[in-house]
Structure 1
Amino acid sequence: MKHKIGIRYEDKYKMERRVPLVPAHVKQLVDKGVEVQVVPSEKRVFKDEEYKKAGAILKNEPLDADVILGVKEMPLGYFKAHKTYIFFSHTIKGQAYNMPLLQNMIDSKINLIDYERIVDEQGRRLIFFGRFAGLAGMINSLWSLGERLKRKGVETPLSKLKQTHHYDSLEEAKAAVSAAGQEIARNGLPGLTLPIAIGITGYGNVSKGAQEILNLLPVIEISPADLLTLHKQKNLPSNVLYKVVFEEKHLARPKEAGMEFDLQEYYHHPERFEGIFEQYLPHLTVLMNCMYWDDRYPRIVTKDYLEVLWKNNDLKLEVIGDVTCDPDGSVEITHKGTAIEDPVFVYHPETRKPVMGFDGEGVLVMAVDILPSELPREASQAFSDALIRFLPGLLEADFEVPFEKLQVPAPLKKAMILYHGELTPDYQYLKQYLKS
């Protein structure tokens, strides 16, 4: 029987333009005898004609392929029994907003593989958009800072930047940031309280992407400890930005007095720790939140503490680039992820109300939920490069056998949340989040 694989139309977001598999990799599969079905799309970064030339069959829904690829969540009622679906389901934390989706997939008796859980033996993700989230997140945040200062009547080199998706390529965006950096080095960055400090939480792929952009500006990296005393120095320059990268040990400490921070204990017993990140907030101009978080861990920005800073006139924080984008999560004021076409809001610490756009008193938050889609071509190519090697083994698998006998590439098996509608052993914990 001929193997069939399908690429669906992305319908969750208006400006979702990414693809899980690029035309060049489709051609590789077709040349090996695989039938690739692609649902037509006018917004996809790779055009229908490119897929057709690669040998794909353009086919409207419903797809009759055995394996169906997507990027973001698929809609309720979309699933057909015993087919295999691969996408970012956003269910592994028991996210309440997607529990109806998980239940629907269970009821539909499907196989679900989540890209987020495709990892190696050390738990490192093998297929990801993270770097591109960091790249676009930092570009957007620098653009947001420039727009925010412009609203205050201050023109800066950052005012010349654009939101990421308005650039034709990552190379063009980098050139624009680099040009702004050269101008900052010559003339400084007016309108901000010195020192100008940009903090980045995390050190993974997202953080590395954010730093890749930030390093195009005149930056000096300092430690979190040095940040706390930097403001005491005299004659600080306005043409230098200070970069601070925060690790887990800077976010929390053991509740028990005298105990040293232990990373593995923090991962396994976060309830034994309390947050300490707030000590750094009064010293930051921009905060880039690039770390993994779930509700077992302390928040790094709370509404209560922002209100205290605001009332004491100690809030110099202009922009939060919440790349992590967990609603009501590590940055408590991020009440929702924002859309590419409406990317920012201003949160007032005293009224505790957000207002979409750049205007208003308070802290501006950039929390675009699909940041890599602002660099759709490069992000899709890198993602497809990682995914393609796993697909032949998946297509050859016999899905009639019990799960324990299923022969698929090991990282895919680790990432299989559902098998014929049943939670697999590693994901039994999700039962507690499903309504009985």
Structure 2
Amino acid sequence: TRQYEGLDEAKAAVSALGEHIAREGLPDPITPLICGFAGYGNVFRGANEIIELLPVREIEPQEVAAVARSSDCAHDVIYKVVFKEEHTVEPISPEDHFDLQDYYDHPEKYRSRFHIYLPYLTLLVNCIYWEAKYPRLVTKADLKRLYGGAEQPRLRVIGDISCDIEGGMECTVKSTEPGDPVFVYDPFEDRAIDGFEGRGPVVLAVDILPSELPRDASVYFSTVLMKYVPAIAQADYTVPFEELALPPEIKRAIIVYQGKLTPNYRYIAKYLERNNK
């Protein structure tokens, strides 16, 4: 684990790596290096800010297979691909067509189709918001199929920034600590092996990533939070949650209210029960 004084120093190190890649190229065994991002919201924007410090060539999801199979791909770039909902899920009924609002309203009508991209990715960064009502992006069965072949799959690392335990990335069977940030998920034994050696993808599952840059995170979050402080201070917390008058950005972030999980976070209860057994 590397130690940096702050975000600027960390970004400088990534930029230096990018210069090395542009100058020397990537090793043949990991070329083309294709980095997939699932999601395109705030979490993605933070991750994208870092990868853009490297020599990047963006491709579309429909190009991933062709690039991975190409014998004429670039050695001095990292291929970046961003997946949105229309790429990751499909209607269960062949008579239906994908509609984003319908997916949000009726996720039970959809299933994941992300497995078609998995064989071609080197690195997958999960930035999606997930609840139990949505299909999983990657299942344990997907990884068992992927790693069940005779050859080593291209997929080496899963960076699960969202870090929902057995959630959108079902292989995230536990969270990790900054000092020991990764484990290998063995899809055949369904278990995590600490470190980065073993049969299966290396999974980064640190659920307290902002604390790794405490000064930068504190300055940013306090700056953003400042405009909401008056409303937070003036709110009446004796009323039911449905009547609580707070800005929607703050109200959506409330996990527990009056000693109970709020509606958007009730799915956490089953994980709490599991940990208490």
When normalised by structure 1's length, the TM-score is: 0.56
1:10-25 pair list within 5 angstroms: none
Q: Is 1:344 matched up with 2:182?
A: yes
Further displaced range: 354-363 or 379-388: 354-363
Query: What is the aligned partner in structure 1 of residue 15 from structure 2?
Result: 178
Task: Give the CA deviation at 1:403.
Answer: 7.4
The amino acid across from 1:174 in the alignment is K
Q: Is the 8 A contact 2:173 2:191 kept in 1?
A: no
C-alpha change, 1:291 and 1:353, in structure 2 (3 Å) is same
Q: Is the 8 A contact 1:306 1:315 kept in 2?
A: no
- Deviations 1:73-126 (CA, angstroms, capped at 9, x unpaired): xxxxxxxxxxxxxxxxxxxxxxxxxxxxxxxxxxxxxxxxxxxxxxxxxxxxxx
The amino acid across from 2:175 in the alignment is G
C-alpha change, 1:277 and 1:413, in structure 2 (3 Å) is closer
Match of 1:240 among 60, 65, 77: 77
- Unpaired stretches in structure 1, ≥5 consecutive residues: 1-161
Query: What is the aligned partner in structure 2 of residue 134 from structure 1?
Result: none
**Cα distance in 1, alignment partners of residues 208 and 199 from structure 2:** 26
The amino acid across from 1:394 in the alignment is I
The amino acid across from 1:255 in the alignment is I
- Unpaired stretches in structure 2, ≥5 consecutive residues: none
Query: What is the aligned partner in structure 2 of residue 374 from structure 1?
Result: 212
The amino acid across from 2:89 in the alignment is A
Match of 1:265 among 93, 102, 105: 102
Task: Give the CA deviation at 1:394.
Answer: 3.3
Q: Describe the SS at the equivalent of 1:274.
A: strand
Q: Is the 8 A contact 1:197 1:243 kept in 2?
A: yes
Q: Is the 8 A contact 1:282 1:314 kept in 2?
A: no
Higher relative contact order (CA 8 A, sep 6+): 1
1:308-327 pair list within 5 angstroms: 308-312=145-149, 313=151, 315-327=153-165
C-alpha change, 1:427 and 1:355, in structure 2 (3 Å) is closer
CA-atom RMSD, angstroms? 2.9
**Cα distance in 1, alignment partners of residues 217 and 223 from structure 2:** 10
Q: Is the 8 A contact 2:255 2:265 kept in 1?
A: no
Identity rate of aligned residues, in percent?
47
Match of 1:354 among 165, 170, 192: 192
- Deviations 1:200-231 (CA, angstroms, capped at 9, x unpaired): 00000110111111111111000000002213
Task: Give the CA deviation at 1:343.
Answer: 0.7
The amino acid across from 2:26 in the alignment is L
Q: Describe the SS at the equivalent of 2:29.
A: coil
Query: What is the aligned partner in structure 2 of residue 391 from structure 1?
Result: 229
Query: What is the aligned partner in structure 1 of residue 26 from structure 2?
Result: 189
Q: Is the 8 A contact 1:344 1:365 kept in 2?
A: yes
Query: What is the aligned partner in structure 1 of residue 201 from structure 2?
Result: 363
- Deviations 1:394-422 (CA, angstroms, capped at 9, x unpaired): 33456567878876656556666766557
Match of 1:329 among 164, 167, 174: 167
**Cα distance in 2, alignment partners of residues 331 and 404 from structure 1:** 31
The amino acid across from 2:205 in the alignment is A
**Cα distance in 2, alignment partners of residues 262 and 179 from structure 1:** 42
Task: Give the CA deviation at 1:233.
Answer: 2.6
**Cα distance in 2, alignment partners of residues 233 and 282 from structure 1:** 14
**Cα distance in 2, alignment partners of residues 213 and 371 from structure 1:** 14
Q: Describe the SS at the equivalent of 2:133.
A: coil
When normalised by structure 2's length, the TM-score is: 0.86
Count of residues in Structure 1 that have an aligned counterpart in Structure 2: 270
